[in-house]
């Protein structure tokens, strides 16, 4: 059995196990697409098809992939739901708080993907997303709220949540909604945002701060137009830009707010991994949002599969056999791809996939 056939078999078993209700033809095509993405490091259908064992002509396999992303009966929110629930369930049982990350990125032709992910060992694991037409910039509050409500429905009762976001996700309505559902949050906001501080409406950049000074301003009303709150404002100094960044939060101490916001830099790891560091998702020529979203479905499963393999490589005790551990750094995603090559080259059976508690292992600079 070829490497392609062995990988396809493992992926097909995963898809069939997680998506038993999916039509077999669609499940086979999805498994073939994921297999080709993992082996080629690409999402362009011609390159993907070249890495998949197929008894007919390769161009006909490309056509299968095109029909898959055009298939309006494949609903991404339904098909990815078992994977999202698996991630949430595994992490909810192993830690006191789930850290959710929200981010957007340009994909395809004039399309933007807005995604909510869950934090795990320095990676952002995808939970749910929406794709819409637009240029890089702020998404509407309606789009953000709809996606976060989808994420909210995934979280078991009683599980504490922290949401981290960049400056795009600082709307007063969004802040108010998070307060209503008792999520904690730390989201960067614009320096010209008006807040009520000591009885006066002032821009954040005019708060009484010296250069390089960092502070937490308690109990302010957020935005003059909507007046949500009280909230807290964390001011941190960005040495590179030579200015303050401002974070709207409901954490009550400066130390706690800074500690959680420090994980914000993980937000972009999924997109960076599936773009230039992994599958070149940004190179797809798809331009219709629903089609781009179905391609992301296959890419997200391939990504999660790789992270699972990276975790197993560490837990199996083989890490030092495949990579240097003294001065090298690989993400769980990169380790998974390395381990995948090893399993295929050495004809080793694929392991059962699992997600252990994040505090059960350490690897270099992982936190």
Contacts of 264 (CB under 8 A, 6+ apart): 101, 164, 165, 166, 186, 188
DSSP state of 11: H
Q: Where are the beta strands (DSSP E) in the chain?
A: 97-107, 111-120, 123-133, 160-165, 184-189, 194-197, 200-203, 215-222, 228-238, 243-249
* Radius of gyration, CA atoms only, the chain: 22
**pLDDT (0 to 100) of residue 328:** 65
Query: In the sheet where 243-249 sits, what is the strand order?
Result: 123-133, 111-120, 97-107, 160-165, 184-189, 243-249, 228-238, 215-222, 194-197, 200-203
Give the angle 152-153-155 at the CA atoms, nearest 5°: 70
314/320 Cα distance (integer angstroms) = 9
Q: List, run by run, the mean pLDDT of 10-residue segments along the chain (367 residues).
A: 91 95 95 96 94 86 96 96 95 86 89 93 93 81 94 93 85 89 92 89 92 92 83 93 93 93 81 84 91 97 96 88 78 93 93 86 57
**pLDDT (0 to 100) of residue 366:** 38
363/367 Cα distance (integer angstroms) = 8
**pLDDT (0 to 100) of residue 364:** 56
Q: Which helix (H) or strand (E) holds 18?
A: helix 3-18
Q: Which helix (H) or strand (E) holds 257?
A: helix 254-261
Using CB atoms within 10 Å of the CB of residue 241, give its burial: 0 to 12 exposed, 13 to 18 middle, 19+ buried: exposed
């Amino acid at each position: 059995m070829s490497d392609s056939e062995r990988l396809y078999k493992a992926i097909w078993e995963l898809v069939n196990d997680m998506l038993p209700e999916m039509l077999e033809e669609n499940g086979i095509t999805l498994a073939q697409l994921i297999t080709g993405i993992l082996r080629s490091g690409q999402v362009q259908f011609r390159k993907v098809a070249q890495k998949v064992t197929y008894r007919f002509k390769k161009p006909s396999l490309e056509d299968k992939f095109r029909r898959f992303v055009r298939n309006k009966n494949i609903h991404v929110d339904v098909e990815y739901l078992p994977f999202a629930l698996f991630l949430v369930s595994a992490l909810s049982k192993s830690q006191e708080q789930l850290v959710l990350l929200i981010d957007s990125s340009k994909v395809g032709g004039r399309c933007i993907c807005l995604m909510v992910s869950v934090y795990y060992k320095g990676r952002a694991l995808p939970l749910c997303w929406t794709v819409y037409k637009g240029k890089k910039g702020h998404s509407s509050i309606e789009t953000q709220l709809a996606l976060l409500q989808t994420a909210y429905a995934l979280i078991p009762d009683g599980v504490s949540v922290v949401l981290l976001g960049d400056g795009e996700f600082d709307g007063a309505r969004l802040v108010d909604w998070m307060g209503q559902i008792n999520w904690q949050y730390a989201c960067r906001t614009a320096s010209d945002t008006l807040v009520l501080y000591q009885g006066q409406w002032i821009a954040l950049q005019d708060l009484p701060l010296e250069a390089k000074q960092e502070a937490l301003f308690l109990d302010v009303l957020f935005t003059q137009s909507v007046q949500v709150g009280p909230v807290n404002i964390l001011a941190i100094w960005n040495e590179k830009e030579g200015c303050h960044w401002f974070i709207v939060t409901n954490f009550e101490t400066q130390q706690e707010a800074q500690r959680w916001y420090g994980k914000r830099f993980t937000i972009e790891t999924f997109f960076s991994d599936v773009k230039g560091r992994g599958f070149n998702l940004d190179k797809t020529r798809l331009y219709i949002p629903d089609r781009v979203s179905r391609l992301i479905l296959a890419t997200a499963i391939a990504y999660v599969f790789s992270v699972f393999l990276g975790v197993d490589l560490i837990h199996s005790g083989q890490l030092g056999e495949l990579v240097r551990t003294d001065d090298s750094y690989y993400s769980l995603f990169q380790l998974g791809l390395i381990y995948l090559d090893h399993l295929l080259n050495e004809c080793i059976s694929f392991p059962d996939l699992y997600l252990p508690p994040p505090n059960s292992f350490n690897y270099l600079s992982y936190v």
